[in-house]
Structure 1
Amino acid sequence: MATAEGYLRRLTRRLTEDPEQQDVEELSDEAANTGAQKAIDCRRGQEVTMVGTLRCVETNAKGCAGGVRAELFDGTDAVMLVWLGQRRIAGIESGRTLRVHGRLGKLENGTKAIYNPHYEIQK
């Protein structure tokens, strides 16, 4: 009986909860299930492994210094991925899920960033 009540409670929550909040929870759970670190817990100078979805990608944009920038969101915080000297990277596009590894730094504006990260496309 407890299983049926739990299912009904989860179903009701899914139907009434904000879709954006559902996405955030799913991303956060997915990252946790892969053993990746949460972006919100990571600090400058740490070597990190994260899993998240690319929300936006800029290629050769003004201020991009001839590289590619992509915002990775894992459900807890966003991290800017920066590939210096690249014009385009196959597979790096909005909506893709990546597993990235590198040393966490910061951009001039204080945003968390990983320069030239190692990455694997997940989906």
Structure 2
Amino acid sequence: MGSTDSGAFRRMLRKLTSDVDVLDADDLSETSEKSGAQRASDCACGQEVTMQGRLRSVEFCPEDDSAAQLQAELYDGTEGVTLVWMGRRRIPGIEPGRTMRVRGRISVKDGQKVLYNPYYEICQAQ
């Protein structure tokens, strides 16, 4: 058995024995990296970033009328980033399970990475 055969066998064995969430995270991370996006785990506060991942959750957070915001968690397979659109109650197409590409400047709030009012593109399902 050659080295390429054993590598293919190891990958197949890993897919058969790994947790579905781990495999999904690996696929998300690989897709994100191939698209040229940065890994969320590598991004630092103040950095201008482009990331791609899947929305895990979307919720409207009405603190009061002037501070209403739509929040979503984007997961790229390495780490989650909170997306916050100030003054928005809903954005068509922004829903859990959607794959998105976002761009903005990373902030950190309560130890969580955040992108405020990011530029976004909804990607076609892979």
**If the length of structure 1 is used for normalisation, what is the TM-score?**
0.90
1:14 counterpart = 2:15? yes
Please give the residue correspondences for 1:79-90 in structure 2 after superposition, counting only pairs within 5 Å. Answer: 79-90=81-92
User: What CA RMSD, in Å, does the superposition of the two structures yield over aligned residues?
Assistant: 1.6
The aligned counterpart of 2:93 is: 91
The aligned counterpart of 2:32 is: 31
**Cα contact 2:62–2:69 (8 A) shared by 1:** no
Q: Work out the CA distance in 2 between the residues paired with 1:7 and 1:110.
A: 39
Aligned sequence identity (%): 51
Question: Could you report, residue by residue, the CA deviation over 1:6-46 in whole angstroms, capped at 9, with x for unpaired residues?
Answer: 43332221111111110111111111101111111111111
Structure 1 ranges of 4+ moved more than 4 A: none
Structure 2 residues not aligned, in runs of 5+: none
Q: How many angstroms does 1:114 deviate by?
A: 0.5
Q: Work out the CA distance in 2 between the residues paired with 1:8 and 1:79.
A: 34
Structure 1 residues not aligned, in runs of 5+: none
**Cα contact 2:72–2:83 (8 A) shared by 1:** yes
Q: How many angstroms does 1:115 deviate by?
A: 0.4
Amino acid at match of 2:96: S
The aligned counterpart of 2:111 is: 110
SS of 1:76's equivalent in the other structure is coil
The aligned counterpart of 2:41 is: 40
Q: Work out the CA distance in 1 between the residues paired with 2:118 and 2:44.
A: 16
The aligned counterpart of 2:50 is: 49
**If the length of structure 2 is used for normalisation, what is the TM-score?**
0.88
SS of 1:13's equivalent in the other structure is helix
